[in-house]
């Protein structure tokens, strides 16, 4: 049973527009959420995170929104750039159980110039 779901396998966006990547989770005990970015044949790199006590966290062009009642989070990238083209993984953790992460299947983002 997938506890973290990214239902869109891919997303295509025009350069300069907003990219919105979505993630749903089922485990209400998750209290920390992260987004990782991954290029082919490389390891994921940490992008941005949010604790369950917040509903928004912003870092430059990247903003993560958390809706706990809907068990949903989203990553907004504004403006999108061609270099943002990568696979984006959503991950979640129960801090009580330490650093174990549960990952979604990923969404391939393509930013067209």
Residues that bind another protein (CB under 8 A): 4, 6, 9, 31-32, 34, 36, 41-46, 49, 51, 89, 91, 93, 95, 98-101, 103-106
Least distance (Å) from another protein to the CB of residue 26?
14
CB of 42 to another protein, least distance (A): 6
Measure the CA–CA gap between 44 and 46, rounded to whole angstroms: 7
Strand partners for 70: none
**In terms of CB distance, is 9 or 16 closer to another protein?**
9
How far is 60 from 54, CA to CA, in rounded Å?
Answer: 17
CA angle 20, 25, 28 (to 5 degrees): 135
Of the pair 80, 104, the CB lying nearest another protein is at 104
Strand partners of residue 94: none
Q: How far is the CB of 113 from another protein (least distance, A)?
A: 26
């Amino acid at each position: 049973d997938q506890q973290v779901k990214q239902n869109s396998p891919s997303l295509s966006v025009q350069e300069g527009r907003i990219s919105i990547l979505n993630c749903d989770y089922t485990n209400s005990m998750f209290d920390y959420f992260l987004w990782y970015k991954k290029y082919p044949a490389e390891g994921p790199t940490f992008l941005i995170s949010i604790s369950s006590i917040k509903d928004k966290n912003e870092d430059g062009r990247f903003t993560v929104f958390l809706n706990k009642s809907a068990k949903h989070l989203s990553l907004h990238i504004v403006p999108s750039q061609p270099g943002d083209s990568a696979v984006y993984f959503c991950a979640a953790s129960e801090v009580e159980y330490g650093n174990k992460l549960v990952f979604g299947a990923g969404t391939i983002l393509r930013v067209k110039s």
